[in-house]
Structure 1
């Protein structure tokens, strides 16, 4: 009787046994019913579903292609209809007469917005000035014959084809894809398969926009199913075919409701574009559809087998859990799981679950609070140890918690922000979490400290080797590469033995940070660089030359000298500290020049502000120093000119004569003879009044005029040299490079650009 009562109690409503058995039977019945229904229903509908899937796929492909062509057309039209574009194209159409070559860079910048857009898949944007006979594209300018015969040559599109091109009857035209090649210096390089798209550059009838698109990328983005695919224009010509060995055939008809037909061993699925009128065709071999049917049959059988296996495994698991219902609670306690126990409709589990969840929540809050406080105390102790700050007498017991009894490595991060509007504290804390997370997988738990307002330091215990630390830092560099507002310099120590003081490691890392270069990118420095590339301090002769140029009040002379020395520092791969020393030296010479002329000091409005060492720490490129010099020096030069700009008949005659006879053979004796004074007196008088030597002033004037003439592409280098008084072209090139830092040819290429 007792056993019977126990049996009846086990099967009473609401007990664990009844609920488990009911759930088990429900799952089995549901799986079995679903599999049987799926098999019976899909067996007859499989073919229709596969056909509908292919029709839907070709429709989506067509929509994607049509949207892409429409978007490309709209973006080009929006560009060509802007007032600035129309004005620039009008100027460039007659560039041989108006000489406005500077507009080429503006148009190239507008074109770059299209071919650099990764979503348009544009390989090049060619602006064809048919009447002028030249083209403008991303590499520069060239004649139309050279462009289409050498740089963008194709048997399908010879130069005569583009010469006879006309867009009278259409706004946009897409031409069949063809292979293009580039021939240069006797070498032929394939440019791959290109899909030309022609749009008239309204309102000019003789200017065309030729867009070279990559049809392979379009196919990969919109139609890459692995099956043959091709596009036909309204005349039935093949614009693109993904598989060259596939027979291309036009659809026999477009009957209502019919978008596919069978021919040979293939199914052809057709769809027509609403905007372009193109016919898009996907070829599906019959054997592939048969294979899809077989795959689905196998899937259905597999589901039945899996359902049976799940039922068997579930029965075994449920049986084991019936004998030990409290094992889940015990296992949960042993694993110290943070989540509360799941709610249950079973009374016994509901009561236990409520009590256990409350206890575990309290324990978890206590644990997190202790971990946070221990972490803060540990960081405080390590920071004091790194900076060698004596520990508070009440906290001396923490000294044992930060004793280094194992090998360690140290990493120091100097953080610079390119954007002055950045929220520094928030960004630094995010970087700290990122660094801590990356190094958590290396050895023991790392310690990451904030040493200064722009410095973090990581202590890595048992890191293995320095190469492992560098590997993780390179991963950090790749992650930060996506964010352009942060400039990080990372100094990495070797793996120190446990008896090495942390203070010594910190000092050595500070020395490594001095190897920072002005790259504008994240730098990882593991060892000192060669001292042979270090820039030397400003020499006495350099200081005197800069003083002379400053006293002349000539911005061009001063900034040419400053820029030339900046370029020398860059060529020597000088560290950022050398740039800072150079900037301080220049600022010092400016202050001396102001003092020599008794110009108001740096506190006045016309003065120059002194160098701010803390400001230099935020500079990450030579361009910033160049801008800093102009901002600081230009007001000082203005004040110097205001002080020395008194009209003097001798200096006025010299400057006006040199400006009017610059192309002649001019020397000091000739000018002195015209003034009826001795050359020595004229030399000393001119330098006293202008602050610069006669020869330096003459060469500065000639080089400045040469720069203006070099902007005219019709003039050869030797013509420019002769026009400014250098009858030996080698002497002109040598003097131009001395005063400008580059050759005349390099100057023309930088400022005019292209290959026109």
Structure 2
């Protein structure tokens, strides 16, 4: 026994097991001292801090909304109640301000401003009729347009309505359910003539506040200053008569216990909102649980000590035998550390040796394969090197060769390139069912595959498997990358055939059909197309159209020219030749100096490289379209510099009485009428003619109210050619004639 105890190995085993016992004892003791009631008390204390943080988040959000409403009241354009007219230019300005305010707060869905006696509602997303807004866009069975009007007519303070499900429509046709909280500005003290409503996105608001951080099983009820429910995470929770029994401390907190539930009450210092946090009450029979835990702990410790002593003696001899295998049985020291070090050393040496052998074998085969493809006369030395691996390259009487190339969708794409090993494994798995496969990486994410085939019909199986893999990889593993693959004809299994098959694949890239929908280019089905459609008359027309600034028309001509050749089934190299010819023809008239020549050279290099590397007709067409747009934008650059909304608005306001035809404005701004018309509608949200009529008629109404001029004189003064045109236009926009308008407003 003394000899055994003198050995460190036995002591190491016993001490290791004893350490496990000590850890178990400490863990059980901590659990015992911190019983369930103590743990629960700490959790509830943390929950109070969490709820207080949630209340601060609510107060901060409500304060932000209040400040937002105050900012809206300070915005310009606030018509008097007796003035029923609407200045749309100022309304659009107000709408732009609302859009900027709404975008500054993430959880604000919309801001709505309307005025007493007017049906117009101005929102952050546009203008609308008030009734249509709440009947179509924000629909709710209770909160109807009449409800909001009645509420606004009654005296009220700033009100937060409970979260409710609204049927929201953005296009007037489809609806989606969305939870919104409506905030209505108070009218007891009016800051302006505006009535302001703010719609809050409940999902974003609650996400910001993070109610999930409360203790599991807890809920939160939010009441406003009038004890109306604003938010409840538990639909069954009702304040009932609880609030009548609550007396808030100076810290504005209180607590009540009912059965197995504890209620914590908090009153906000910001707006007197009341927050009720409902949490489950602590567990019962804590003492019995603690005593049982103590008994279990002591029994486990006694059993663990006895088991440790028995296992120490039982495991001692096997440990010494294992140590001898690593050459350390007679040495003093830590036996387990020596065993571990020996195992790690052997594993490391084995893995390193396997990796070296595998890598050397791969590189040897890849080197031999590239030598077979180089086209030079094969030496006897190469044949001798091929003998040990000849069956690997030519396992069957015949073979086919496939090429697969992968590239990012655009140059400079930040997408991580796929690993070569992963692509190699996928190709081996995909084509392995059709025959014995050998995959070689030839650089630039290009892979060459040799597939041994026993019967000529096996080539069809290889083609089907390759097409299936290409379609799946384009959607899954290599989604977003551009893939190209080709399959050679069937060849006899010999070294000289490899170079012929590889040359087939190279020719397949140039002679493939540019508009083919097949995932894999089958070299047996390629048919030569002798000519392409190359009309100099159409090229000249395209160049002249582009020089005249008609970019859209030039793009249409370009598409027609490409479509004619695509229908002929031309090859890739023919399509690339057509694109390059068009490029040189279009660029030549735009070179004006040395700077332009340098820029053109850079464009030419980038364009030719992009066309040569293109995989499809769409890529070639897109490259040429970018050149067409570049030239068109360059032609219109000087005219576009004057397309300033403020300048256009000011010019119309000062010259509305003149003949401001569309052609006149386009000439003034050095652009085309069509471009100016599209730009105006996109910028101002209304057509140019409608906008001009509204400006003219707005001034005409002022003349009708405050002057003695006749209707014909007012029409002429506001830019209309005759009284008939003025009267017709006025009635179209306002529903009554100028004379009737004057009688109603003046008489």
| TM-score (norm: length of structure 2) | 0.58
**Is residue 554 of structure 2 the alignment partner of residue 561 of structure 1?**
yes
Q: Deviations over 1:634-660 (max 9, x none)?
A: 67999xxxxxxxxxxxxxxxxxxxx99
> Kindly tell me: are residues 204 and 47 of structure 1, through their superposed partners in 2, closer, same or farther at Cα, counting changes over 3 Å?
farther
Which residue pairs with 1:210 in the alignment? 199
- Cα drift, residue 581 of structure 1: 7.2
| Counterpart-to-counterpart distance in 2, 1:304 and 1:141 | 77
| Counterpart-to-counterpart distance in 2, 1:701 and 1:11 | 103
- Cα drift, residue 180 of structure 1: 0.9
Q: 2:55–2:275: 8 Å Cα contact kept in structure 1?
A: no
| Counterpart-to-counterpart distance in 2, 1:568 and 1:313 | 89
1:49 to 36, 39, 44: 39
| Counterpart-to-counterpart distance in 1, 2:440 and 2:68 | 53
Say which one has the larger Rg: 2
> Kindly tell me: are residues 585 and 504 of structure 1, through their superposed partners in 2, closer, same or farther at Cα, counting changes over 3 Å?
closer
**Equivalent runs, 1:115-194 vs 2, <5 Å:** 122=107, 125-131=109-115, 133-136=120-123, 142-159=128-145, 175-182=161-168, 189=175, 191-194=177-180
- Cα drift, residue 125 of structure 1: 2.4
| Counterpart-to-counterpart distance in 2, 1:574 and 1:259 | 82
**Is residue 208 of structure 2 the alignment partner of residue 232 of structure 1?**
no
- Cα drift, residue 224 of structure 1: 8.4
Q: 2:579–2:624: 8 Å Cα contact kept in structure 1?
A: no
Which residue pairs with 2:412 in the alignment? 420
> Kindly tell me: are residues 713 and 27 of structure 1, through their superposed partners in 2, closer, same or farther at Cα, counting changes over 3 Å?
closer
Q: 1:260–1:268: 8 Å Cα contact kept in structure 2?
A: yes
> Kindly tell me: are residues 256 and 513 of structure 1, through their superposed partners in 2, closer, same or farther at Cα, counting changes over 3 Å?
farther
**Equivalent runs, 1:230-269 vs 2, <5 Å:** 230-248=221-239, 252-255=246-249, 260-269=255-264
**Is residue 8 of structure 2 the alignment partner of residue 9 of structure 1?**
no
- Cα drift, residue 661 of structure 1: 9.3
Q: Which moved more, 1:233-242 or 1:708-717?
A: 708-717
| Counterpart-to-counterpart distance in 2, 1:301 and 1:472 | 66
| Counterpart-to-counterpart distance in 2, 1:569 and 1:129 | 53
| Counterpart-to-counterpart distance in 2, 1:564 and 1:298 | 89
> Kindly tell me: are residues 368 and 303 of structure 1, through their superposed partners in 2, closer, same or farther at Cα, counting changes over 3 Å?
farther
Segments of structure 1 that go 5 or more residues without pairing to the other structure are: 1-6, 115-119, 334-340, 532-536, 639-658, 664-699, 721-756
Segments of structure 2 that go 5 or more residues without pairing to the other structure are: 80-84, 454-460, 526-530, 638-658, 664-670, 693-747
Q: 2:168–2:178: 8 Å Cα contact kept in structure 1?
A: no
1:281 to 276, 279, 291: 276
- Cα drift, residue 562 of structure 1: 1.0
| Counterpart-to-counterpart distance in 2, 1:319 and 1:440 | 54
| Counterpart-to-counterpart distance in 2, 1:310 and 1:524 | 70
| Counterpart-to-counterpart distance in 1, 2:66 and 2:372 | 63
**Is residue 360 of structure 2 the alignment partner of residue 376 of structure 1?**
no
Which residue pairs with 1:507 in the alignment? 505
Q: 2:224–2:273: 8 Å Cα contact kept in structure 1?
A: yes
Which residue pairs with 2:88 in the alignment? 96
> Kindly tell me: are residues 193 and 28 of structure 1, through their superposed partners in 2, closer, same or farther at Cα, counting changes over 3 Å?
same
Q: Deviations over 1:472-514 (max 9, x none)?
A: 9868965777xxxx744365989x9998998579939976997
Give the 3-state SS of the residue equivalent to 2:419 in structure 1: helix
Give the 3-state SS of the residue equivalent to 1:556 in structure 2: coil
Which residue pairs with 1:403 in the alignment? 393
| Counterpart-to-counterpart distance in 1, 2:332 and 2:77 | 78
1:431 to 415, 419, 437: 419
- Cα drift, residue 388 of structure 1: 7.6
Give the 3-state SS of the residue equivalent to 1:11 in structure 2: helix
Aligned residues: CA RMSD: 6.8
Q: 2:77–2:94: 8 Å Cα contact kept in structure 1?
A: no
Which residue pairs with 2:53 in the alignment? 63
- Cα drift, residue 413 of structure 1: 4.0
- Cα drift, residue 10 of structure 1: 0.5
| TM-score (norm: length of structure 1) | 0.57
Which residue pairs with 2:629 in the alignment? 630
**Equivalent runs, 1:630-709 vs 2, <5 Å:** 630-631=629-630, 703=674, 707=678
| Counterpart-to-counterpart distance in 2, 1:270 and 1:516 | 74
| Matched pairs, number | 608
Which residue pairs with 1:649 in the alignment? none
Give the 3-state SS of the residue equivalent to 1:262 in structure 2: strand
Give the 3-state SS of the residue equivalent to 1:236 in structure 2: coil
Q: Deviations over 1:136-169 (max 9, x none)?
A: 466x664443222221122454335666769x99
**Is residue 40 of structure 2 the alignment partner of residue 20 of structure 1?**
no
> Kindly tell me: are residues 710 and 398 of structure 1, through their superposed partners in 2, closer, same or farther at Cα, counting changes over 3 Å?
farther
Which residue pairs with 1:588 in the alignment? 581
| Counterpart-to-counterpart distance in 2, 1:295 and 1:77 | 54
- Cα drift, residue 261 of structure 1: 2.4
Question: Greater relative contact order (Cα 8 A, min sep 6): structure 1 or 2?
Answer: 1
> Kindly tell me: are residues 709 and 294 of structure 1, through their superposed partners in 2, closer, same or farther at Cα, counting changes over 3 Å?
farther
Q: Deviations over 1:178-221 (max 9, x none)?
A: 12124799988451432346799x99966765332326766675
Which residue pairs with 1:645 in the alignment? none
| Counterpart-to-counterpart distance in 1, 2:292 and 2:451 | 54
- Cα drift, residue 63 of structure 1: 2.3
